[in-house]
Amino acid sequence: MADVTTGAAYAPRGDRRLVYVSDPSSIAIHHLPDPVGEHDLRRWIDDLADAGMDTFVQEAYTQGWTTYWRCGRFDYDARLQHRRFLPLLDSGVQPLQVLLDQSHKRGMEFLAGVRINDNHGHVSVAQGVGAGARFLVDNPHLQIQEAPPGPYYKLSTPLDFTHPEVREYVFSVVEELARTFDVDGIELCFRDHRYFPPGRGADSQHLMTGLVRRVREMLDALGPLRGRRFLLGARVYQTLDECHSQGLDVPGWITGGLLDYVAPSDVMHSDFNAPYEQFTRLAREGDCMVYPGVLPWSSVRMRRRLAEQPLSPEQLRALAQNFYGAGADGVSFYNHFVPLGWAPFYPMMLFGLDELGDPERVAAGSRHYLFEPTWAGQLGFGEGRTSTGALKADRIALKRGDSSSGGRYRLRVYEDVGNARRAMLLFRAYNLTDADEVRVSLNGSPVPDADLGRRTDERRIDVAAPTDPSSNATLGLPLVAKAPSSCTTFWFRLTAPPFRCGENELEVTLTESDPAGESDVVIDEIEVFVAA
């Protein structure tokens, strides 16, 4: 039975609840001064510790470059934002060591993050420093030469992990990091466009597994020398199908004891509806923890409409409620610092995030769930598709001319609505006219017409802001993603039954179609409000 307080089938395991990941450049560009002093780094760590973070991950390798540290074996990041660390480095101080020392002083775990590939080559090219380290750019035969359809694949020069030289190079970076710094572990970040040529990922999984196993064995061998076991985490795609298609045998990594935690995550969007239980069911067979990703927005459409305003506290609580309901052990913050232009700004925007590490506090506050077509309007990988090729634009489409056109939308909401003061489901039907009539059901139970609210004058903000200005400008794509306009909004109160804690199914049927209606009816925005 599910816990009626948190909606979770299982209590979170372990003591780690909040993992905070810093990418190679965003904090350097937007938060740290130029030049960076040791005190600036320590103050940043103090902010994270004061905000309640348990684990801090600084990504320290990307595009073949080292970031926040320098050694003779590998090229240091040549991008402009990383030059602000040169005075410290030239004085013999490794910024990564400062971050590590201060994290330990403040009681936080410290992991070094390794981006297995990265998709920001076009940014460094625009800065005039090339697409990456010499190992990458001087060895075009080690790069993936083919690309799936979609202009965004042209923005980067990913290494092809089919080649043993590539796997050896990345392993040597991880080994150097682990041996040079007294880190608590390594996070392998698989967030990028691809690791193997198109169509060859599933058949190449054993190659990436060999690399992950080799890292695990190296860390295990090093552990006794440091008097503790090193952690190994992996940030991966949000579904196991995507992982397999990209060459990542995540189930094998989990059940084979290679990972201490896994963090299923999109690159920029928090997905309220992703099947996180796929990971937790596997992970709970052993000691692997699960920390799904908290990201700034719920969809391309949200980012466009609200000028990149990030998720609200009510929306973050709903996201965490679904994480814990699916069996997660905590949350991981990724790209949290991207919408820095919104008050209360960084680092004040860190404070309050600690609430998400406590399922009881999450359940005590009101929650607002968003179910949207995550990548709809994004053209870079094909309309509505993410970099894995997966279509992430869920919707119900009601076709005109069909006397009983209907559709279903599956949504996960881990709530005991019987304990809530009030719960409501809302959905928007685009292209619906006043002459159209619909029938609505939840989990097979019709919603009486008398209980169904309907209006055409919902007030919404739409600032039509750019969603990916750097990438889109580089490729000549429209800066503003398209979004539908006129809609009819429906809503009804949720009661149990028919609502159930976990997976629910909304069904909408077009029972009468306006003869003058020109476009099919689309329902792709559903919201659930829970008043605690």
Confidence of residue 404 (pLDDT cuts 50, 70, 90): confident
Range name among 5-14, 56-65, 173-182, 519-528 with the lowest pLDDT average: 5-14
Q: What is the pLDDT of residue 1?
A: 32
Q: By C-alpha distance, which of 302, 299, 177 is closest to 232?
A: 177
> 409 - beta bridge partners?
506
- State the span(s) of the chain assigned CATH 3.20.20.80: 18-365
- State the span(s) of the chain assigned CATH 2.60.120: 396-531
Q: By C-alpha distance, which of 185, 60, 24 is closest to 111?
A: 185
Tokens 């909401």, located at residue: 413
Condensed to tens digits (0 to 9), the pLDDT of residues 313-364 reads 999 999 999 999 999 999 999 999 999 899 999 999 999 999 999 999 999 9
Q: What is the pLDDT of residue 8?
A: 46
> 406 - beta bridge partners?
509
Sequence-ordered alpha helix ranges (H) in 107-163: 121-126, 134-137
Q: How far is CA 438 from CA 426, 492, 507, 527, in A?
A: 14, 14, 10, 18
User: What's the maximum distance between 2 C-alpha atoms anywhere in the chain?
Assistant: 77
Q: What is the pLDDT of residue 4?
A: 37
Q: What is the pLDDT of residue 9?
A: 62
d(CA 191, CA 266) in angstroms, rounded, equals 8
How far from the centroid of its chain's Cα atoms is residue 115's Cα? 14
Average of per-residue pLDDT across 52-71: 98
Under CATH, which number does the domain 18-365 receive?
Answer: 3.20.20.80
> 502 - beta bridge partners?
413
Secondary structure (3-state) at 160: coil
Q: What is the pLDDT of residue 126?
A: 92
d(CA 324, CA 330) in angstroms, rounded, equals 7
For the CA atoms of 43, 45, 47, 53, the dihedral, rounded to the nearest 10 degrees, stands at: -170
Secondary structure (3-state) at 430: strand
Residue 398 CA neighbour count, 13 Å, CB half: 31
Average of per-residue pLDDT across 60-68: 97
Q: Which two tokens stand for residue 432?
A: 């619906």
Average of per-residue pLDDT across 411-417: 97
d(CA 367, CA 372) in angstroms, rounded, equals 16
Residue 184 CA neighbour count, 13 Å, CB half: 17
The length of the chain in residues reads 532
Written in H, E and C, the secondary structure of 263-299 is EECCCCECCCCCCCHHHHHHHCCCCCEECCEECCECC
CATH class of 396-531: mainly beta
Average of per-residue pLDDT across 199-208: 97
d(CA 18, CA 316) in angstroms, rounded, equals 13
Condensed to tens digits (0 to 9), the pLDDT of residues 455-503 reads 999 999 999 999 998 899 999 999 999 988 889 999 999 999 999 999 9
d(CA 61, CA 143) in angstroms, rounded, equals 17
Q: How far is CA 183 from CA 19, 148, 257, 431, 456, in A?
A: 15, 37, 20, 55, 56
Q: What is the pLDDT of residue 5?
A: 41
Average of per-residue pLDDT across 56-62: 98
Report whether pLDDT(420) > 90.
Answer: yes
Decide: 103 and 109 in contact? Cβ < 8 Å. Answer: yes
Q: Which two tokens stand for residue 256?
A: 């084979």
Residues whose CB is less than 8 angstroms from the CB of residue 302 and which lie 6 or more positions away in sequence, other chains included: 370, 372
Residue 315 CA neighbour count, 13 Å, CB half: 20
Q: Across all residues in the chain, what is the average pLDDT?
A: 95
Q: Which two tokens stand for residue 244?
A: 């397999």
d(CA 45, CA 59) in angstroms, rounded, equals 15
d(CA 143, CA 132) in angstroms, rounded, equals 12
Report whether pLDDT(10) > 90.
Answer: no
Share of the chain above pLDDT 70, in %: 98
Instruction: Give the single-character DSSP code of 117.
Output: S
Backbone φ, ψ for residue 26 (5° rounding): -60, -45
Secondary structure (3-state) at 56: strand
Instruction: Give the single-character DSSP code of 516.
Output: T
**Across the chain, how many H-helices and E-strands are there?**
15, 20
User: Which residue spans within 139-230 are E strands per DSSP?
Assistant: 185-189
